[in-house]
Amino acid sequence: MARGPLLAYAVVALLAAVAYPMAPEGAHPLLYFLIGSASLVPAALALRKRRGPTVIILAGLAVINAGGLWAAVQLGFTDNRNLVSLAFIVAGHLLLLASAVWIVLRHGRGDIGGILDAAVMAVGLVGLLWTVLVQPRLAATSMSTGSRAGLLVMALCLAGMLGALLRVESAGRESLLALRAFIVVLPLALIGNLSLLWYAADTPLTRPGWVDTLFLAGYIVAGAGVADRSMDQLQRPGPVSADRLGPGRLAFLGGALALNPIVAAVQHLAGRPIDAVLLAVGTAVIVPMVMVRIGMLSAQRSRAERALAYEATHDALTGLANRKKFLDRLDTDLSAGEAPLILFCDLDGFKAVNDGLGHVAGDQLLQQVGVRLAACVRETDLLARYGGDEFVVLCRDAPAEVVPRIEAAFAAPFVVTGEQAVVGVSIGAVRAAPGDDAVSVLRRADGAMYEAKSRRVTAGAGSRTA
């Protein structure tokens, strides 16, 4: 939907919502339904091009307006609004909340850690506001514990989603009008629900007109937001943000876990009754979020440690074990009294390929050599790139088939940068003797490899083993 007509719709609908409290009280139910229904128009038009959260938002607005229509009918015939309309409206708000969750998980998937932190912070702040502003009001009323818990859960969920959306907005590379619209909707719903607590604690189905204006403004902005063209971008994954575990992050998570018990302790020391509902519900909301966050950070650290360990023991070009890992394994076997067989392989003709076709071709050749060699050895053998065009194999027994396989692997030419390249291999094979160390074994294997290379030069092309 073009922004010109969309802006005109939003201005007219918001003016109607602002004027709503000034209308005769008897006309409020019908006006509430008519103004709220206007939010369905842009959302329904957007449904022609979009799915995903658009469907959920449209469904939520439709359910809310169904509740408004039911309330208008009930007040017209019975002069009383029953709990059916309230159930419709609560269900509609839950659908709108679900659409916000969808947007966060879709557009913010690259920053889940930061989003969780922002949600935890927002939940904690609303918990404090509940303690300072709402709880003293509730203490003077007869509202049931179940009703308090339900309203608190709704307030904390709205706060958490508001924090999450604010994080998505701050981490984004560009400003999205649809996202900003949802950021406006959530505080309107949050303030509206807290106002219901303040004004309707004794009679839950009555509320002042300005509270209805807050809800109507939220519905209008939601309908306009889902119809804006930036909604297309909002349904695509957003940027990836770095997520680091540091002392500040750990202190923040620890403070979030301790927040509700600290609030309860301060209430007790001040001689005020402890808000058991906040302590129970707030803890039940925050603790799982913090535990998920700690689990994510722990998993991230484990992945980083595994990645560092892999980089320290593997060759970056071929993915084979590197010299360090090979020497560590050889030292371990020699210390255990074993006598492994070492195959020292050096490519023949690699320099000509590297100089003639370029370093990119040389790198591709080394990668392909690594693949062919890996197909020649067994699972119990260790194949490593020793350096340059040198490869080594450690065999714990004396396999008769490995060397012929390696020699046969170089019979076919390689294809690098679209060109054929023919290289051979010279192999020095030695078995460790009692008292050998890794350096002496490799020196003998290197000498045997040069002996095989000299034979190849004397005898002509082909692979040689000494």
161: enclosing H helix or E strand: helix 145-171
Which tens digit of pLDDT belongs to each residue from 284-306? 888 888 888 888 878 888 888 89
Contact 453, 346 (CB under 8 A): yes
Rounded CA-CA distance 64/36 in Å is: 8
Q: How far is CA 309 from CA 306, 324, 370, 391, 453, in A?
A: 5, 12, 21, 21, 35
Which pLDDT score, from 0 to 100, does residue 278 have?
Answer: 77
Domain boundaries, the chain: 3-307, 323-465
Residues ≥6 apart with Cβ < 8 Å to 256: 120, 121, 124, 286, 289, 290
Q: Is 209 exposed, middle or buried (0-12, 13-18, 19+ CB in 10 A)?
A: middle
Which tens digit of pLDDT belongs to each residue from 389-403? 999 999 987 666 888
Pairing between strand 382-387 and 414-416? Answer: unpaired
Which pLDDT score, from 0 to 100, does residue 328 have?
Answer: 93
Q: How many CA atoms lie within 13 A of 355 on its CB side?
A: 4
pTM of the shown model: 0.65
DSSP state of 379: T
Burial code (b: 16+ CB inside 10 Å, e: under 16) for 220-236 equals bbbbbbbbbbbbebbbe
Q: Which CATH architecture has domain 323-465?
A: 2-Layer Sandwich (3.30)
Residues of the chain below pLDDT 50: 201-205, 459-461, 464
